[in-house]
């Protein structure tokens, strides 16, 4: 019910104020809308109409969440491009939604920023699948998909005309993951098989959506806003200190 009122508000405000950019934020697995709050506020300050789309991540499959998103996109669509900023599994949901037969064309004309997406699956999630307790916690819907999929190619590709930016985190220290990672997803697992732009930030999976460098890269890609010279968040300060040695 809250989402319905939010969508009605977005629709009304966009008609009255004439926002040019509509951005839909989609959080990740076992997260809430608060995980995308920094991104939401950041783009709102730039004059964008932002919808912070939330969903009960454990209760449905990725495909079912994508179908729910498509229904809301049909309401949001007003003949202008719709862009997306996602975190983790949110990127998979958007990718699936864009390949849904009922997805509005407006959603295929915007841009997409995928933050720490497990496009190539998650080796950590597959490792954890062996433990019954973890299986119970993550559930038998989208959680099971994350724990068993080698990749997510079956979800389809992003539209050829859609510019896509993938931002991967590198500040991970997980002994069960090999290669650069954010603690949950490796840099290699974030990559797509289709054309896209790839960036990295020194941040972990849980807080990468709040990292100022992530926000700067996302706004630069979406709106062309130049990067600030230096990010002062703890993870980026550590990265700068290592570079200075």
pLDDT tens across 7-54, in order? 544 554 544 344 568 999 999 999 999 999 999 999 999 999 999 999
| Count of domains for the chain | 1
Residue 70: CATH number of its domain: 3.40.50.1820
Nearest CA-CA partner of 24 in 117, 89, 113, 116: 113
pLDDT band of residue 243 (cuts 50, 70, 90) is very low
Lowest mean pLDDT among 174-178, 214-218, 238-242: 238-242
Q: Domain containing 195: what range?
A: 20-244
Q: 0.75 exceeded by the pTM? A: yes
What's the count of helices (H) and strands (E) in the chain, helices before strands? 9, 6
Percent of the chain with pLDDT over 70: 84
Is 14 among the domain residues?
no
- Residue 3: what pLDDT? 53
Is 68 among the domain residues?
yes
* Average pLDDT value for residue range 120-124: 96
Determine phi and psi for 7, rounding to 5 degrees: -65, -40
Percent of the chain with pLDDT over 90: 82
Is 9 among the domain residues?
no
Determine phi and psi for 113, rounding to 5 degrees: -115, 115
- Rg of the Cα atoms in the chain: 17
- Residue 225: what pLDDT? 87
Is 3 among the domain residues?
no
Q: For the chain, where are the alpha helices, taking DSSP H only? A: 2-17, 37-45, 62-76, 89-98, 123-128, 132-138, 142-148, 212-223, 234-244
Highest mean pLDDT among 11-20, 124-133, 220-229: 124-133
- Residue 232: what pLDDT? 56
Is 13 among the domain residues?
no
């Amino acid at each position: 019910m809250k989402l319905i009122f939010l969508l009605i508000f977005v629709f009304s405000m966009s008609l009255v104020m004439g926002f040019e950019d509509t951005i839909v934020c989609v959080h990740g697995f076992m997260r809430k809308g608060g995980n995308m709050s920094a991104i939401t506020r950041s783009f709102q300050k730039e004059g964008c109409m932002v919808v912070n789309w939330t969903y009960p991540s454990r209760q449905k499959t990725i495909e079912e969440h994508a179908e729910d998103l498509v229904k809301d996109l049909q309401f949001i669509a007003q003949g202008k491009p719709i862009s997306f900023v996602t975190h983790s599994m949110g990127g998979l949901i958007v990718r699936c939604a864009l390949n849904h037969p009922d997805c509005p064309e407006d959603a295929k004309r915007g841009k997409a920023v995928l933050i720490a997406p497990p496009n190539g699956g998650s080796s950590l999630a597959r490792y954890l699948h062996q433990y019954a307790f973890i299986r119970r916690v993550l559930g038998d819907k989208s959680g099971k998909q994350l724990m068993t999929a080698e990749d997510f190619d079956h979800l389809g590709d992003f539209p050829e005309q859609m510019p896509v930016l993938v931002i991967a985190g590198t500040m991970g220290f997980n002994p069960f993951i090999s290669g650069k990672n954010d603690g949950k997803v490796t840099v290699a697992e974030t990559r797509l098989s289709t054309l896209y732009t790839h960036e990295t930030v020194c941040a972990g999976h849980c807080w990468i959506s709040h990292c100022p460098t992530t926000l700067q890269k996302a706004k630069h890609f979406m709106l062309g806003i130049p990067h600030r010279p230096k990010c002062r968040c703890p993870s980026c300060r550590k990265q700068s200190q290592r570079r200075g040695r």
